[in-house]
């Protein structure tokens, strides 16, 4: 579904076991400390996006929802979108809630749905965005994701999913360019 192998961030705890670490890294993962602003991980993924023209898959909530509804988005994806100017493609994956049981490792079955939205960009690229600006972009990213999901999965964004977009707009790639 993507034109080249993507990169992504995964919680650093998954990298503690050598075989798992090897597999994650071979799939394009990099460890991230979710308890703080992990600048090393942010710099790594920024380099992949900007200098290597890679595609990054990121989960803005930073963790899985146990109830299946959206959790509050974390600022990392918004910060990348603002500082790099790369387009964001929202997607929503639903139906994976029952896979959280550790016993599902032996029989990982679920009826999942993946919905992919239209690419968009933050209206203005900025090297040093304000916290308020990052919060506004995070909210719009999460609202775009919520709109791809059934209403009962909107979670934290139930009351704001009908909000108009102000700081983001649809991205129309130039013909002949792949971005």
The tokens for 164 are 């108009």
- CA quadruple 13, 34, 169, 122: dihedral sign: negative
Domain boundaries along the sequence of the chain:
1-57, 60-174
Q: Note whether 9 and 32 are within 8 A (CB).
A: yes
Q: What is the pLDDT of residue 51?
A: 92
Alpha-carbon distance values, 104 to 36, 78, 96, 108 (Å): 30, 33, 11, 5
Q: What is the pLDDT of residue 176?
A: 53
Closest Cα partner for 123 from 176, 160, 78, 92?
A: 78
Q: What is the pLDDT of residue 150?
A: 92
Per-residue pLDDT reduced to its tens digit, 81-117: 999 999 999 999 887 666 666 655 677 777 778 899 9
Number of H helices, E strands in the chain: 4, 7
Q: What is the pLDDT of residue 88?
A: 93
Rounded to an integer, what distance in angstroms lies between the CA atom of residue 162 and that of residue 170?
A: 17
Q: Position of tokens 């992919």?
A: 116
Q: What is the pLDDT of residue 163?
A: 92
Rounded to an integer, what distance in angstroms lies between the CA atom of residue 49 and that of residue 77?
A: 12
**Predicted structure pTM score:** 0.85
Q: Which residues of the chain have pLDDT under 70?
A: 1, 96-105, 174-179
Q: What is the pLDDT of residue 109?
A: 73
């Amino acid at each position: 579904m993507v034109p080249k192998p993507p990169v992504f961030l995964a919680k650093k705890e998954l990298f503690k076991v050598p075989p798992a670490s090897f597999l994650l890294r071979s799939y394009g993962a990099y460890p991230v400390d979710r308890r703080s602003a992990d600048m090393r991980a942010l710099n790594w993924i920024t380099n992949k996006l900007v200098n290597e023209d890679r595609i990054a898959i990121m989960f803005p909530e930073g963790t899985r929802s146990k109830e299946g509804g959206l959790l509050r988005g974390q600022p990392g994806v918004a910060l990348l979108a603002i500082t790099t100017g790369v387009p964001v493609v929202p997607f929503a994956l639903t139906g994976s809630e029952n896979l959280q049981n550790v016993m599902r490792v032996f029989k990982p079955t679920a009826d999942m749905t993946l919905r992919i939205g239209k690419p968009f960009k933050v209206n203005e690229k900025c090297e040093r965005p304000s916290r308020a600006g990052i919060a506004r972009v995070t909210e719009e990213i999460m609202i775009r994701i919520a709109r791809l999901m059934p209403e009962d999965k909107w979670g934290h964004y139930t009351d704001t999913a009908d909000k108009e977009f102000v700081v983001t707009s649809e991205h129309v790639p130039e013909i002949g360019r792949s971005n």
